[in-house]
Amino acid sequence: MTIARRLANWAQTRGGLPPLPEPFIFGVGSADHQVEAYDSRYEDIRDWWEREKEQTLRGRATEFWDRYPEDVALARALGCKAFRLSVAWSRVEPTPGQFNDEAFNKYRDILDAIRAAGMEPIVTLHHFTWPLHIEERGGMTSEQFPAWFERYAAEVVSRLGRGVRYWITFNEPSMLPYGFLKPWWVEDYFAPPGLPDGLTLSDKMDIVGRFIRNLFLAHTAARAAIQRVEPEAKVGVNPVLLGLPPWLQRWIDRNITRLRSREDWVKSEPLAERRWLEQGEVDVVLATLTVSRERAEQVAFSEVYFVAGQTLMVKADSALNILGDLAGQGVAVVKSSTAERALTALIPAARAVIVADHAAALKALEGGSAAAVMSDDTILLGLMARSSNRYRLMGGRLTEEPYAAAVAKGDPGWLELVNAAVRDFMESGAFAENYARHFPGQPIPEPPRRGRLTLTGLNRMPPPTRAAATPSRTLERIRKRGHLIVAVKDNVSGFGYRHPQSGEWSGLEIDLARALAQAIFGDAGKVKFRPATTQKRIPLLRSLWRFLDPVIKPYGILSTVLTTNWWHLGMAGKLPEFLCPLECVGKQDFVGFDYYWGVSSLQVLRVQRLFNAIAASQYSQATVWPEALYGMLKYHAELLPGKEILIVENGCVDVADGVDRVTYLREHIKQVQRARREGVNVIGYICWCITSNREWGAPFNADSDFGLYHIDLDTDPELKRTPTAAAEVYRQIIARRGV
């Protein structure tokens, strides 16, 4: 041992943190979808999801498929003993039962390069992706999925298993259920595949329960297949865990260990519930309300019933004809409308004239303070119809504006009934009949695509409920009251209009509101209309109690069974058998987990920051608490005594919570040394990740770059790997075996 090493060891020991032992595994990691370039022949579920959701596509990614020798060399230069990678299931089994020799040969070359560099590979079989043919045959909830996964695992180990000691069957299984259940404050599912609209909360919980059971069965079958070929192989998984105070994690875990039956499970999920907080002045909004992510955080939207589009209206004799003519000109937009937010992006050279309503927009146009009005084409057509050819539209649609009914979050039964009424209105011929009456001479538009994006396999699930099978407090309240209250526009011809003399209501949305009253009472007349300005549409729907959202949201998350450490609780035999069958208990050879962010106490603002950062992939805003890693190591040592513990992922973006990546690494490694000093059998630490990569559809920026080596993915055609300060610090940590 060199003098420098002796001095380093002495300094660490004197400081109370002895170096980690020589066998300790330091490594780095990567994921196939994030680093391998897109290949249309082997499209996976994430490719489909990111394209359909208009997220950032991986494109060339980091070109690891061809440049793996470079990244392996970088890991070797750091002194790593392990390199974690994943096999792209869609590459090696592009069609059911047909395996790709070329892809397996390449993975074999990658594994050989890792071993030749003095590192051992850690192989992940399922890193958030699966082939489209799996989804088309029923997906991960199919009864056949465990058998499909076992066959895939057996093929991989038979071809690649030589010398692979550590295997991970499912990456972060704790995140996968969010492809089947979503919190009440978000518009869409966090991950694929997503579920069709119309399923009840009970349906969704039943699906999640079947899915979790499938994961345990598939893992157990895959482990057996691996160990038939490599008896000494060690197989586990790596759920990602929030860093919470130990007492709180134990309290949360009770949510799932106390369940005794499937019925308990189906009733156990408050994540999608907030119904008691939401009782506004109206029951539903039907007021040319465009669906947007921002609005979906506040209300729940029905299926789309109409697609409008932003366009421009000018005076009939105006010389303006193209967007460029509006440079420096005023464009009137209604406050809080989608036009207000879109104007800057669509016509940056124009000057916004923000007005209270469309009547004020016309005054601005007539008075000369605005040269054009920007709004939905349907609204502008209605204004033109009442103005004797004084105006004309300039150009075509600039955007698509999907209209949907809005209801308060937290009452899935009420949303089901509204969705059923919308579907019946669209499919019964009522929409076409009413559109022809309110827009004479206009071609009847094609109906919007129904529901959420789904693949063929999801259509095999139970059909959406057509009536409010889920109990609805909102519906009970409406029936007791004796009439429905709907917020509508009163000045948009064709959609929502009240005649100034007769007071008569007319328009497509008025007819839809009456159809909803017919569905509830069997009487289309039992509806009262509440005129709503653009600014007041959503506030009318929401309760005055909404100021409690910052408190209720963390409670909804922390009380959900999905926040529990359900994977390792199952392996410890603490879950009911309908979730984790007895034959799966204990069927893992090491305890793996991922840890990134946490909170040391229940400070509302920090808890909310933590959840918001994770939901929006804005990791620079996430809260950092290194001591949670020590607590997790102690917790798992008690939960699963005798098992090796491997930290499969830990890492940081450049700066999070004011903590830079260098400091983050040092402080978390300290917690590993601390736990090891106290006898916890933690055997490895894998830093996420070796290079910048495509972070699951997120735009590439400081919020999504975990790389020890930086790659400018968007602007550098050479995809050059540049070391960060953290790379050198990690090299020093590995050399000294600690901090």
Q: Helices marked H in 230-332 — which ranges? A: 246-257, 262-266, 293-296
Lowest mean pLDDT among 36-40, 289-293, 673-677, 680-684: 289-293
650 and 508, same domain (yes or no): no
Instruction: Compute the C-alpha angle 57/60/64, nearest 5°.
Output: 125
Contact 47, 710 (CB under 8 A): no
Band of pLDDT at residue 464, cut at 50, 70 and 90: very low
- Among 207-216, 336-345, 474-483, the minimum mean pLDDT is found in 336-345
3-state secondary structure of 307: strand
Q: Using an 8 Å Cβ cutoff, are 357 and 537 in contact?
A: no
pLDDT given for residue 465 in this prediction: 38
222 is written with which tokens?
A: 């895959």
pTM score, whole prediction: 0.74
Distance CA 311, CA 323 (A): 11
List, in sequence order, every residue forming a beta bridge with 372; answer none if it has no partner: 331
Q: Is there a domain that residue 9 lies in?
A: no
| Residue-wise DSSP of 165-204 | -EEEEEE-TTTGGGGT---TT-SS-SSSS---TT--HHHH
DSSP designation for 342: H
- Give CA–CA dist 331/273, Å, rounded: 41
In a domain, residue 6? The reply is no
With beta carbons less than 8 A apart as the criterion, state whether 640 and 571 touch: yes
Mean pLDDT in residue range 336-345: 87
Helices 508-521 and 473-481 meet at what angle, rounded to 10? Answer: 90
- Nearest CA-CA partner of 84 in 191, 295, 236, 192: 236
The domain of 512 spans 279-302+403-417+430-542
CB 128 within 8 A of CB 239: no
Q: Are residues 408 and 488 in the same domain?
A: yes
Does a structural domain hold residue 424? no
Question: Same domain for 666 and 603?
Answer: yes
Mean pLDDT of 189-197: 86
Place of tokens 């345990």: 216
Q: Is residue 7 part of a domain?
A: no
Q: Which of 524, 520, 490 is nearest to 507 (CA)?
A: 490
Do residues 528 and 592 both lie within one domain?
no
Q: Is the pLDDT of residue 538 over 50?
A: yes
Q: Is the peptide bond before 193 cis (omega within 30 degrees of 0)?
A: yes
Pair type for strands 284-285 and 310-315: unpaired
Of 604, 583, 383, 635, the C-alpha closest to 492 is: 383
Distance CA 653, CA 703 (A): 6
Report how far residue 689's alpha carbon sits from residue 640's, in angstroms, rounded to the nearest whole number. 27
12 is a domain residue? no
Q: Please report, in angstroms and rounded to a whole number, the separation of the first and last CA atoms in the chain.
A: 18
Looking up tokens 């996968």 gives: 176
Query: Per-residue pLDDT averaged across 200-228, rounded?
Result: 93
Alpha helices in 79-125 (DSSP H): 89-92, 101-116
User: What residues contact residue 529 under an 8 Å CB cut-off, 6+ apart?
Assistant: 486, 487, 488, 490, 496, 498, 505, 510, 513
Q: How far is CA 695 from the centre of its chain?
A: 12
Partners of 241 in the β-ladder: 595
Mean pLDDT across 113-128: 98
**DSSP symbols for 209-225:** HHHHHHHHHHHHHHHHH
Assigned domain for 13 exists: no
Number of domains in the chain: 3
Q: Extract the tokens encoding 492.
A: 């948009």
Task: Give yes or no for residue 450 having a pLDDT over 60.
Answer: no
pLDDT of res. 549? 55
Give the integer Cα–Cα distance in Å for 373 and 384: 12
Query: Distance of alpha carbon 729 from its chain centroid, rounded?
Result: 32
User: What is the rounded CA–CA span in Å between residue 471 and residue 490?
Assistant: 32
d(CA 411, CA 413): 6
Distances (CA, A) of 649 to 26, 82, 219, 429, 592: 11, 12, 19, 54, 9
Q: How far apart are CA 647 and CA 655, in angstroms?
A: 21
Contact present, 720 and 657 (Cβ < 8 Å): no
Whether the predicted pLDDT of 433 surpasses 50? yes
Q: Which residue has the tokens 């692979």?
A: 164
Helical H segments across 439-574, by residue range: 473-481, 508-521, 537-541, 549-558, 566-571
Mean model confidence pLDDT for the chain = 88
Q: Examine the pLDDT at 462 and tell me if it is beyond 50.
A: no
Indicate the Cα dihedral angle 732, 733, 736, 739, nearest 10°.
Answer: 120
Indicate if 289 and 314 belong to the same structural domain.
Answer: no
Asked, for residue 374, whether it belongs to a domain, the answer is yes
Domain holding 511: CATH number?
3.40.190
Within 8 A by CB and 6+ apart from 568, the residues are 239, 591, 593, 636, 639, 640
Q: Which residues contact residue 500 at a Cβ distance below 8 angstroms, ignoring those fewer than 6 apart?
A: none
Same domain, 531 and 568: no
Do 90 and 214 have their domain in common?
yes
Residue 10, exposed/middle/buried by CB under 10 A (0-12, 13-18, 19+)?
exposed
Considering only 96-105, 538-547, 610-619, which range has the smallest mean pLDDT?
A: 538-547
Same domain, 138 and 189: yes
Q: What is the mean pLDDT of residues 479-484?
A: 94
Residue percentage of the chain with pLDDT more than 90:
67
- In 10 A of CB 539, how many CB atoms? 17
Residue 145's pLDDT is what? 98
Residues 674 and 644 in one domain: yes
| Least trusted range by pLDDT, from 9-18, 187-196, 274-283 | 9-18
Angle between helices 64-78 and 101-116 (to 10 degrees): 20
Of the candidates 529, 538, 537, which has an alpha carbon nearest to the alpha carbon of residue 510?
529
Q: Are 458 and 193 in contact (CB under 8 A)?
A: yes
- Of 542, 572, 600, the residue at which a domain comes to its end is 542
What pLDDT sits at residue 184? Answer: 58
Give the mean pLDDT of 70-91. Answer: 98
Tell me the pLDDT band of 528, cut-offs 50, 70 and 90: very high
Alpha-carbon gap, residue 326 to 322, rounded angstroms: 8
Same domain for 343 and 435?
no
Residues for the chain: how many in total?
739
Sequence-ordered list of residues with C-beta below 8 angstroms from that of 463, at least 6 positions apart, any chain: 198
Which helix H or strand E contains 206, and what residues bound it?
Answer: helix 201-229
Q: Answer yes or no: do 184 and 43 share one domain.
A: yes
At 346, which CATH number? 3.40.190.10
Contact 207, 141 (CB under 8 A): yes
- Asked if residue 466 has pLDDT above 70, the reply is no
Please identify which residue in the block is written with the tokens 């691996």: 226
Across 412-436, average pLDDT? 90
**Residue 47, Cβ density class (10 Å: 0-12 exposed, 13-18 middle, ≥19 buried):** buried
Q: Over the Cα atoms of the chain, what is R_g?
A: 29
Strands 372-376, 330-334: pairing is parallel
Which of 431-445, 463-477, 690-704 has the least mean pLDDT? 463-477
SS3 696: coil
CB 668 within 8 A of CB 624: no
CA–CA distance, 304 with 301 (Å, rounded to integer): 8
**CA–CA distance, 181 with 184 (Å, rounded to integer):** 10
| Low-confidence winner among 13-27, 511-525, 550-564 (lowest mean pLDDT) | 550-564
Q: Are strands 505-506 and 496-498 parallel, antiparallel or unpaired?
A: antiparallel
Q: What is the CATH number of the domain that holds 242?
A: 3.20.20.80
Reading the block at residue 470, the tokens are 């889920």
Question: Is there a contact between 707 and 62 (Cβ–Cβ < 8 Å)?
Answer: no
In a domain, 666, yes or no: yes
| 382 and 336 part of one domain | yes
pLDDT of residue 190: 87
Query: Mean pLDDT across the stretch 60-64?
Result: 98
Q: Which of 523, 542, 561 is the last residue of a domain?
A: 542
